[in-house]
Amino acid sequence: MSTLTLTDLKYITPVSLSEQILSSPPATLPPNIAIIDVRDNDHIGGHIRGSTWVPSSELDYKTPELVRTLKDKDVVVFHCALSQQRGPSAALRYLREKARLDPESSTESKGVVKEGEGEGEGKKGGEGDAQKVYVLEGGFTKWQERFGEDKRLTEGYQKDIWEFGY
């Protein structure tokens, strides 16, 4: 059984994540970053550019596949609408499965990345660098408040859906 708990999770602010996305060519996500959107039927009204939608209802059988397909990513960010339950649960499930499949793997997952602290995050380092697993602070709700109408960062945004909040 894993000793990882919710208190071991690391959070990234929307501003820090946006800086990393904007560091890549337009319309692409940096190749070393994966953003996993675990919203279910509330996955409407927009999403973070380049994110992958894996409904939380499918995580039981998709997590081992995620661990394998994301193994070469330096940064993996999970989020749901508010990042209070599904996003953190998905990140924790991912970390536990990663540890189960590869006990020798190295993963960083504790703390909060604030604006300006993300400098150099997600850049390839030397061998043995730990994959960084984050939860997006405030989820897509906070993201869309700040970046919903920014087409460089958000795809498929529908303002009328978010106009009165989540």
3-class secondary-structure state, position 160: helix
Query: Which residues are the active-site residues?
Result: 80
Q: Are 52 and 94 in contact (CB under 8 A)?
A: no
Helices (H), the chain: 14-22, 59-69, 86-101, 139-147, 159-162
Burial 154-163 (b: 16+ CB within 10 A, else e): beebeeeebe
Token representation of residue 19: 């800086």
Residue type, 119: E
Q: Which of 7, 16, 4, 36 is nearest to 105 (CA)?
A: 4
Q: Are 141 and 82 in contact (CB under 8 A)?
A: yes
